[in-house]
Structure 1
Amino acid sequence: MDWAEVGTLVALLAAGALLSGFLAGLLGIGGGAVTVPVLFQVLTTLDVAAETRMQIAIGTSLALIIPTSIRSLRAHLAKGAVDTVLLRQWIVTVPLGAMLGGAVANLLPSDVLEAIFAAIALVLGLRMLIGKLPFLLGRDLPGRVGRTVAGLVIGGLSAIMGIGGGVLNNTFMTLYGRTMHQAVATSAGVGVLIAVPGVVPFVVGGWGRPDLPPFSLGNVSLAALAILIPLSMPTVKLGATLAHRLTRRQLEIGFGLFLLTVSVRFIASAL
């Protein structure tokens, strides 16, 4: 591989890191919807074994979500917008769902995982384009049983995709009458609850595999994290600040179109 190609890959990771951090603060998402396809493309270019590309992309994305979500949560806590009661109620169910989702992701073939990612990205992209849904499921969040089921589903699907659960949680909370600002702020905390336990199955599931790229901790690329973490952190606070000052409709449309593009790209590669 020549140095020009190496430079292109580093630039691609850097751009993904900056955008991932910004979206983590702005929309309360972990940024995995950006970093997973970027990492997958980089791993494909590096000719990493097809059987492990998607698992490494997702595992590394979840590892990146830990610091970006923590920083985003701190920024939103300072503004008093986080539903800390809901986060305390989800302190078991969301991590449990994330660990189960991570375990499932490590058992699935990479091409099946790509198809699942594409399908969920398609649904989430359409959800972002629709914007505020014209109906509510209730005037407040459901009771303990409903919140438990929601926490398990949000945690499980997010770990399978390598995302922080922001889009899923934003939809859940706003469908039950909560403001988008509170949903976005709370989603930063949900990202922490997902990423910390969710990354464990990817480390364990890839441990000792001979076909991993250098500097890997199971299905987590430490080399990619060395680029992603320092570049993503500065833009988190910027995104969180803008979340409380600007309308996000145009950004939601842009992000929705991005998700649809990612979905089509994965579907096309599978055909």
Structure 2
Amino acid sequence: MQALPRDNNKRMDLLTPRLIVELALLGLGTGFLAGLLGIGGGMVMVPFITFILSARGVGPDLAVKMAIATSMATIIFTSVSSVRAHHKRGAVRWDIVKRLAPGIVIGSLAGSLGVFALLKGSVLAIFFGLFVGFSATQMFLDKKPKPTRQMPGTAGTVAAGGIIGFLSGLVGAGGGFISVPFMAWCNVAIHNAVATSAALGFPIAVANVAGYVISGQSVSGLPPASFGYIWLPGLVVIALGSVLTAPLGAKAAHALPVKQLKKVFGSILYLLAAYMFYKGLSG
């Protein structure tokens, strides 16, 4: 991989007021949407971070990978505040968290240490576009899986956790797009599934971030202030903004027509998916 040209390194090294504002707005917006609609901020963060990095001279392959890794790193902070709120209401099924966590860690490390590092950013961008397009379609259809069985045994939960952690690491998301439907299918009440998914976001994020940091150490051309594939300025500013507005979004959810808003947001997600397809096909 070629190193960034010197002028681009200078551009990335300078945390300008404009860049701070862009990152802060992204954090504030994704945090509010996450609280309002109950969706992970990664679906919004990854395309916008990709755009911000690309506009500052980072190559398309590296921009996509850093966007996914940085988005995942923010979940470490946002999941803590979210879990505290759910735990106070007694909604988190900690027994399920304990059963899924081992598989999640294994799957996350397998993805972030192995497959993520081997795949081109263009492939990851296309995969992300498919994931966002699928999520948008789910919002429009608003279909919930019917509870047809109970949680599986040890082998089944480890396998399920592995799939959740692995796929989450490839798209920079907290795993709710798989874990919530899976738990609902296993006869877990939907409010418990959502709360438990928020708790699972922490081990997903920690394990994947560890993999991104390790696998990114040998990569050349990373912009200044990077820790492996993690872009630290983006992480700090976005995380601060999202932690501030997530509780506001949760409060607004009780006063606003969330079902209608989800359909509007689904339309926006299709546009973001199209952008990532474009990055993948042109990268």
Q: 1:162: Cα distance to partner?
A: 0.4
The answer for the alignment partner of 1:265 in structure 2 is: 275
Q: 1:136: Cα distance to partner?
A: 1.6
Q: Give the unaligned 5+ runs of structure 2.
A: 1-10
Counterpart of 1:100, as a letter, is: A
Q: Is the 8 A contact 2:147 2:184 kept in 1?
A: no
Do residues 56 (structure 1) and 36 (structure 2) align?
Answer: no
Counterpart of 2:187, as a letter, is: G
- Partners of 1:59 and 1:30 lie apart in 2 by 14
Counterpart of 2:56, as a letter, is: L
Q: Is the 8 A contact 1:71 1:233 kept in 2?
A: yes
State TM-score, norm by structure 2: 0.85
The answer for the alignment partner of 1:115 in structure 2 is: 126
| Equivalent in 111, 136, 139 of residue 125 of structure 1 | 136
The answer for the alignment partner of 1:32 in structure 2 is: 42
Q: 1:10: Cα distance to partner?
A: 3.5
The answer for the alignment partner of 1:212 in structure 2 is: 222
- Partners of 1:61 and 1:182 lie apart in 2 by 25
Do residues 92 (structure 1) and 102 (structure 2) align?
Answer: yes
Q: 1:67: Cα distance to partner?
A: 0.5
Q: Within 5 A, what are the aligned runs for 1:148-159?
A: 148-159=158-169
Counterpart of 2:198, as a letter, is: A
Q: 1:208: Cα distance to partner?
A: 4.6
Counterpart of 1:78, as a letter, is: K
Counterpart of 1:60, as a letter, is: T
Percent identity of paired positions between Structure 1 and Structure 2: 36
| Equivalent in 45, 55, 77 of residue 45 of structure 1 | 55
Q: Is the 8 A contact 1:63 1:195 kept in 2?
A: yes
Q: State the SS of the aligned residue for 2:22.
A: helix
Deviating more after overlay: 174-183 vs 210-219: 174-183
State TM-score, norm by structure 1: 0.88
Q: Give the unaligned 5+ runs of structure 1.
A: none
Do residues 73 (structure 1) and 83 (structure 2) align?
Answer: yes
| Equivalent in 159, 172, 184 of residue 162 of structure 1 | 172
Q: 1:7: Cα distance to partner?
A: 5.2
Q: Number of residue pairs matched?
A: 267
- Partners of 2:265 and 2:107 lie apart in 1 by 25
Moved over 6 A (4+): 244-247
Q: Deviations over 1:117-142 (max 9, x none)?
A: 11121112212221133x52515433
Counterpart of 1:177, as a letter, is: N
Q: State the SS of the aligned residue for 1:173.
A: helix
The answer for the alignment partner of 1:223 in structure 2 is: 233
